[in-house]
């Protein structure tokens, strides 16, 4: 066993006795046959005695007879498919030092949006294939045999043989190409040291537009032929982002060029391949006439995120997937910094709280995971590309920056990038540099946030002139874990000028308020309030005692608080209500204090909470559900009337976003006037697609309104939307329609919308648009549909992220213990590591809802409060 290939099976990492230094790769994709062939010559450094070479290969046919190391042929060649490794055994021990490994191989251009795959596009009415790569996390091995782990950095020299009329792109610029009749050979410059997951190849028909950074780096956006005008916005953001990051990280952009390209079939939102960033079309293309304000913002954030990776991820790369958050958390955080600088009028840091909220919601599950998660097998990597790595990661970085101060933080980051450029780093390496640069106990502080899952809720209680604090792990199921954190606390009293910062290191602590707010505590009148976690920079929740909560509710009404604090208060209150730590009755009272709010950033959180309350009340208190809907409508109506249906000349970007947000919410809550107006405008739009009565920002609301009237016997609205879907080539418009079709209250129509995903009409990447649109009335049929089509779903959407999405969107909306048991039973014999975490999290959400419903049913004053609030003057 010790001397056989078997010894390398079942390991999470490759052995370190041989490492690649440089790859020379030739690839020949055949776009008609959907296959490819290739050859590799890899300079390998053998550092310890071995007669084996072990590297990764998956779904490749390696020609064993072509393998040579120097002039040695292996005596055994074994591919272990389940381990995705290729083991070559030689007659005698290999000499220590450098040698060249050569081999030939073939593979399939698959349709699974990973590895080397094909994507369909139309050119002059004809369907064509393009060849595309997506290698993160561990799919370079599906294109060529390689040491497919981030720490095995090497230089890459690529050569492609492709049809001569096509554009062939890779990470580096083209050195030369030679044409031989129908084929051309394209030679690329050698890359600097980089990880395999960042290699990229795209072959197809494209146009491009280009610009340059201040340093003279050429930046291009490639699109399908005739669509380059839709790439202008991303190009502009891209150039500005590169200029900004060069200064922020105090390091020039590392490569000679940067290309960004839109791919029709793409599993993620985008991928930061070094020098050739790939995007799904809706994340890169922006059309003034067809895209909404929120699409525009999404493109800006996505471009800024991917380009941040060129430094944080590509130049300095995580040592192993355990440290994925270093890549994703940082790119998420710094993308907001870039967009705030480019578009200050978007109030982007306030919108960052969307990320924090999504991290806090997921991390309140017992089935969450720490930011740093142990990865034992390659199949587990996909499951950690989630809201913890991205959103919690970004939020704890914001918390640390706020604690250390922006300037000190930036200087330390620049030192980190310089120190680890062209190599790999672990989380501890970053803490060490930050500690060295700032003299603060960064490692001790941050380890409590990255090595253990969850976060605390801080209980705040006023006792005389002391504020008593106690921390406990916050979980949405109402229980409390044993963990403790070092919490960077901030507090202010009656005014933002009167504030205090400190670290909460123990389970309990006490602040003497008179030490920093003597006059405020002495005069505890009507306008007295204390707010902890100023501007929500900390990743924790706060539960105030009744006196403090009443003071903050009054501060919300009288607009004494910052936008970020207005958001924090409503989000904490909603989370505490879900966990049955406060009543739904008190949450509704608090929501009512926001009825004069007109700011988009605050109202986006208020509407999200309103829709959550609407959903739970439908199951918890069906008799009161209609009145609760009316109350929630009343809350949003003032702001909705202010923005109306028609855009105003010169209105702000945020008002355009607000209009869309409120109209959609009012339609979902069943507001007849909004629904009827949406339908009226839709019919005008059907006759004239250029009508100014239904601009892109308002279409989703109108489409949802139309679907509320559709049934099996009256399906004209469904058919009309499907017709628009078939006629548009615009990805964002297609997405709006796919999200509207299953929102119908008629179950048969919901099934029809779900079945669309099984046809060629919907690209596999767009399934999530359909899944997240399913109405409350469609829950049961969606679950029946999933059970019936499970084998097909697993085969068609095999990657962890995609299959997890089906489980999450279809299971999570249920709210009973019985349903949780039924789902568990179905999956008992079908669960796989790729979606096990998503299944456990979804079941936990169902049980949390069931517990919340029981609690709501026991609230004595709910009906009376709802009726009182309904009667209040607006």
Point out the residues that are catalytic.
Answer: 306
Alpha helices in 117-205 (DSSP H): none
List the structure tokens of 543.
């539960």
Return the C-alpha torsion angle 546, 548, 553, 558, nearest 10.
150
Name the nearest CA neighbour of 620 among 443, 825, 854. Answer: 854
Q: Are 156 and 205 in contact (CB under 8 A)?
A: no
The alpha carbons of the chain give a radius of gyration, in whole angstroms, of 28
List the structure tokens of 651.
């209105």
Q: Are 262 and 223 in contact (CB under 8 A)?
A: yes
- DSSP secondary structure of 744-767: -S-HHHHHHHHHHTTSTTS-GGGH
Q: Are 412 and 437 in contact (CB under 8 A)?
A: yes
Q: Are 666 and 704 in contact (CB under 8 A)?
A: no
For strand 18-30 and strand 155-163, is the pairing parallel, antiparallel, or unpaired?
parallel
Using a 10 angstrom Cβ sphere, with 0-12 exposed, 13-18 middle and 19 or more buried, the burial of residue 519 is exposed
Q: Are 65 and 115 in contact (CB under 8 A)?
A: no
Name the nearest CA neighbour of 572 among 609, 615, 547, 537. Answer: 609
Backbone angles phi and psi of 474, in degrees to 5: -95, 125
Q: Are 117 and 108 in contact (CB under 8 A)?
A: no
List the structure tokens of 69.
């190391």
Distance CA 173, CA 187 (A): 9
List the structure tokens of 255.
């490569």
- DSSP secondary structure of 324-384: HHHHHHHHHHHHHHHHHHH-GGG-HHHHTHHHHHHHHHHHTSTT---SS----SGGGGGGG
- DSSP secondary structure of 457-490: EEEEEEETTEEEEEEEE--TTS---S----EEEE
Name the nearest CA neighbour of 262 among 202, 212, 174. Answer: 202
To 10 degrees, what angle do helices 393-404 and 353-363 make?
A: 120
Distance CA 447, CA 433 (A): 15
Give one word for 97, left, alpha or beta, with left for phi > 0 and alpha for psi -120 to 50: left
Using a 10 angstrom Cβ sphere, with 0-12 exposed, 13-18 middle and 19 or more buried, the burial of residue 509 is middle
In sign, the C-alpha dihedral spanning 233, 238, 239, 243 is positive
> In angstroms, what CA-CA distances link 869 with 344, 412, 540?
37, 52, 30
Name the nearest CA neighbour of 248 among 428, 400, 409. Answer: 409
Q: Which residues contact 711 (CB under 8 A, 6 or more apart)?
A: 744, 745, 746, 749
Distance CA 276, CA 487 (A): 40
Q: Are 718 and 741 in contact (CB under 8 A)?
A: yes
């Amino acid at each position: 066993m010790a001397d056989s290939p078997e010894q390398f099976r079942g390991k999470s990492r490759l052995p370190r006795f041989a490492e690649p230094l440089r790859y020379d790769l030739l690839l020949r994709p055949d776009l008609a046959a959907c296959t490819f062939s290739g050859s590799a010559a890899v300079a390998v450094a053998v550092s310890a005695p071995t007669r084996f070479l072990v590297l990764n290969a998956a779904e490749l046919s390696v020609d064993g007879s072509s393998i040579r190391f120097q002039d040695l042929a292996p005596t055994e060649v074994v591919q272990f498919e389940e381990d995705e490794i290729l083991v070559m055994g030689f007659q005698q021990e290999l000499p220590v030092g450098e040698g060249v490994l050569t081999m030939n191989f073939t593979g399939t251009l698959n349709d699974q949006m990973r590895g080397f795959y094909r994507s369909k596009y139309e050119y002059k009415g004809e369907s064509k294939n393009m060849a595309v790569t997506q290698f993160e996390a561990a799919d370079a091995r599906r294109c060529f045999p390689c040491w497919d782990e981030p720490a095995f950095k090497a230089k890459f020299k690529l050569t492609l043989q492709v049809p001569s009329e096509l554009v062939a792109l890779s990470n580096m610029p083209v050195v030369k190409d030679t044409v031989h009749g129908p084929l051309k050979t394209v030679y690329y410059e050698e890359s600097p040291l980089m990880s395999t997951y960042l290699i990229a190849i795209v072959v197809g028909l494209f146009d491009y537009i280009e610009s340059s950074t201040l340093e003279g780096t050429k930046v291009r956006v490639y699109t399908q032929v005739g669509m380059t005008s839709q790439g202008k916005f991303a190009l502009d953001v891209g150039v500005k982002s590169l200029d900004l990051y060069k200064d922020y990280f105090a390091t020039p952009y590392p490569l000679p060029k940067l290309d960004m390209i839109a791919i029709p079939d793409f599993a993620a939102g985008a991928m930061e391949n070094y020098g050739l960033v790939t995007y799904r079309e809706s994340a890169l293309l922006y059309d003034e006439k067809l895209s909404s304000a929120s699409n525009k913002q999404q493109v800006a954030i996505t471009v800024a995120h991917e380009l941040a990776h060129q430094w944080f991820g590509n130049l300095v790369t995580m040592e192993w997937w355990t440290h994925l958050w270093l890549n994703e958390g940082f790119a998420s955080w710094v993308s907001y910094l870039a967009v705030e600088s480019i578009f200050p009028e978007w109030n982007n840091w306030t919108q960052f709280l969307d990320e924090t909220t999504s991290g806090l919601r997921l991390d309140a599950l017992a089935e969450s995971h720490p930011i740093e998660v142990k990865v034992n097998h390659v199949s587990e990597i996909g499951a950690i590309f989630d809201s913890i790595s991205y959103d919690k990661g970004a939020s704890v970085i914001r918390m640390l920056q706020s604690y250390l101060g922006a300037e000190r933080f930036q200087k330390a980051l620049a030192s980190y990038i310089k120190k680890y450029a062209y190599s790999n780093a672990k989380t501890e390496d970053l803490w060490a540099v930050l500690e060295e640069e700032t003299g603060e106990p960064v490692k001790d502080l941050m380890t409590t946030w990255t090595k253990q899952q969850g976060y605390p809720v801080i209980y705040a209680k006023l006792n005389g002139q002391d504020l008593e604090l106690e921390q406990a792990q916050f979980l949405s199921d109402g229980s409390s874990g044993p963990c403790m954190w070092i919490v960077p606390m901030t507090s202010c009293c009656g005014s933002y000028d009167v504030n205090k910062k400190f670290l909460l290191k123990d389970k309990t602590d006490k602040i003497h308020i008179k030490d920093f707010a003597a006059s405020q505590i002495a005069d505890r009148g009507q306008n007295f309030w204390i707010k902890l976690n100023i501007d929500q920079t900390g990743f924790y929740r706060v539960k105030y005692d009744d006196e403090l909560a009443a003071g903050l509710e009054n501060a919300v009404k009288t607009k004494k608080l910052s936008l970020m604090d207005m958001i924090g208060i409503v989000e904490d209150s909603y989370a505490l209500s879900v966990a049955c730590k406060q009543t739904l009755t008190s949450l509704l009272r608090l929501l009512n204090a926001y009825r004069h709010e007109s700011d988009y950033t605050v109202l986006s959180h208020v509407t999200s909470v309103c829709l959550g309350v609407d959903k739970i009340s439908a199951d918890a208190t069906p008799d009161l559900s209609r009145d609760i809907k009316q109350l929630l409508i009343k809350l949003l109506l003032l702001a909705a009337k202010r923005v109306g249906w028609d855009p105003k000349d010169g209105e702000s970007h945020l008002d355009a976003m607000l209009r869309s947000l409120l109209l959609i919410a009012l339609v979902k809550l069943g507001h007849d006037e909004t629904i009827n107006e949406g339908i009226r405008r839709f019919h005008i739009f059907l006759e004239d697609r250029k009508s100014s009565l239904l601009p892109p920002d308002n279409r989703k609301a109108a489409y949802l309104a139309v679907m509320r009237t559709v049934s099996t016997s009256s399906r004209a609205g469904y058919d009309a939307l499907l017709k628009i879907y078939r006629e548009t080539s615009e990805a964002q418009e297609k997405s709006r329609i796919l999200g509207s079709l299953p929102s119908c209250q008629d179950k048969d129509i919901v099934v029809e919308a779900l079945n669309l995903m099984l046809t060629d009409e919907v690209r596999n990447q767009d399934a999530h648009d359909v899944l997240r649109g399913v109405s409350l009335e469609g829950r049961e049929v969606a679950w029946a549909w999933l059970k019936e089509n499970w084998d097909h779903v697993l085969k068609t959407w095999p990657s962890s992220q995609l299959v997890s999405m089906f489980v999450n969107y279809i299971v999570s909306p249920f709210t009973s213990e019985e349903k949780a048991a039924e789902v568990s039973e179905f999956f008992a014999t079908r669960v796989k590591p790729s979606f096990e975490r998503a299944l456990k999290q979804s079941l936990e959400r169902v049980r949390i809802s069931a517990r919340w419903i029981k609690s709501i049913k026991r609230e004595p004053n709910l009906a009376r409060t709802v009726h009182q609030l309904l009667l209040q003057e607006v």
